């Protein structure tokens, strides 16, 4: 599960005054029905982020504000017609009331660590998972990797120079969490039976502030 692709997707950062700059690619037409229709090539992927909020509850509230603003931006729907849902243990989602009260459900993924929060959604109906991790030394990394990342990834981490291992471990962990979220599985110890399911996800590293790494995992719609 180390096939993370190059080409880091751009994160659109939210500040108190709104987003920093436009989407990196042209936004869909300002029509909810058009924006939530299937779009080929993964064009529906959007990632938003919040920086500098170390307090978890404030980060949770703010990333959700950013998500609603982003969904309103790309669908042309009023924020009042967008609802975020998902109970503890359930994958989050957005319910968007389109024209003539036609309601669309859009899958989401959200992750927090340290002072960075990120969220991803796909307008084309494909599954998505995202994870951010702060790079820190993990003294018992080998035991943790053996339990959660599997023997091959543990062996690969063992070949990484010690000075680079914290970064490599964080990237491996972020990839695993993103894959699990993408297919709707909770974090659990590694087992060989899950390999094919997790392998269905396409993963890409995302560009984050120094000291953080992140991965977005996707499965195309259809």
What tens digit of pLDDT does each residue of 49-96 get?
Answer: 999 877 888 888 899 999 999 998 888 888 999 998 876 666 788 888
DSSP 8-state secondary structure symbol assigned to residue 42: G
Q: Is residue 42 over pLDDT 50?
A: no
Is the model more confident about 20 or about 156?
156
Give the torsion sign (CA, 74, 75, 77, 81).
negative
Is 159 part of any domain? yes
Is 61 part of any domain? yes
The pLDDT value recorded for residue 62 is 92
- The CATH number covering residue 165 comes to 3.90.470.20
What is the total count of domains within the chain? 1
Long-range interactions of 146-155: CB distance < 8 A, separation 24+: 147/189, 147/190, 148/173, 148/176, 148/187, 148/189, 148/190, 149/173, 149/176, 149/190, 150/1, 150/190, 150/192, 150/195, 153/1, 153/2
CA–CA distance, 128 with 120 (Å, rounded to integer): 7
Is 140 part of any domain? yes
Q: Is residue 6 over pLDDT 70?
A: no
**Could you tell me if 175 and 168 are in contact, meaning their C-beta atoms sit under 8 angstroms apart?**
no
Is 90 part of any domain? yes
> How much is the mean pLDDT over the chain?
84
Domain with 34 in it: 8-219
The pLDDT value recorded for residue 40 is 40
Q: Is residue 97 over pLDDT 80?
A: yes
Backbone angles phi, psi at 214, to 5 degrees: -155, 160
The residue whose two tokens read 């993990």 is: 138
Is 2 part of any domain? no
Is 38 part of any domain? yes
Is 194 part of any domain? yes
35-67 residues labelled b (16+ CB within 10 A) or e (exposed): bbeebeebebbbbbbbbebeeeeebeebbbebb
Any residues with CB less than 8 A from the CB of 172 and at least 6 apart, and which?
A: 2, 145, 149, 153, 157
What tens digit of pLDDT does each residue of 176-185 get?
Answer: 999 999 988 8
DSSP 8-state secondary structure symbol assigned to residue 126: -
- CA 74-75-78 angle, 5° bins: 110
What tens digit of pLDDT does each residue of 134-193 get?
Answer: 999 999 999 999 999 999 999 999 999 999 999 999 999 999 999 999 988 888 889 888
Is the model more confident about 5 or about 185?
185
The pLDDT value recorded for residue 212 is 96
Tokens standing for residue 126: 């494909």
Is the model more confident about 73 or about 211?
211
Is 189 part of any domain? yes
CA–CA distance, 18 with 36 (Å, rounded to integer): 23
End-to-end CA separation in angstroms for the chain: 23
CA–CA distance, 169 with 100 (Å, rounded to integer): 49
């Amino acid at each position: 599960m180390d096939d993370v692709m190059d080409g880091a997707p751009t994160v659109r950062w939210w500040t108190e005054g709104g987003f920093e700059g436009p989407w990196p690619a042209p936004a869909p037409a300002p029509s909810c029905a058009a924006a939530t229709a299937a779009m080929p090539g993964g064009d529906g992927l959007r990632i938003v982020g919040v920086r500098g909020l170390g307090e978890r509850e404030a980060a949770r509230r703010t990333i959700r504000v950013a998500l609603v603003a982003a969904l309103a931006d790309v669908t042309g729907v009023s924020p009042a017609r967008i609802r975020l849902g998902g109970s503890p243990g359930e994958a989050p989602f957005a319910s968007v009331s389109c024209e003539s009260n036609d309601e669309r459900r859009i899958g989401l993924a959200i992750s927090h660590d340290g002072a960075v929060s990120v969220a991803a959604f796909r307008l084309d109906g494909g599954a998505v998972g995202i994870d951010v991790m702060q790079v820190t030394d993990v003294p018992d990394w080998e035991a943790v990797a053996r339990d959660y990342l599997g023997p091959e990834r543990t062996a690969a981490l063992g070949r990484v120079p010690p000075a680079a291992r914290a970064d490599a471990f964080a990237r491996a962990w972020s990839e695993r969490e993103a894959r699990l979220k993408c297919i709707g599985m909770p974090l659990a110890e590694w087992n060989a039976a899950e390999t094919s399911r997790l392998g269905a996800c396409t993963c890409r590293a995302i560009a984050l502030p120094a000291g953080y790494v992140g991965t977005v995992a996707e499965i195309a719609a259809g």
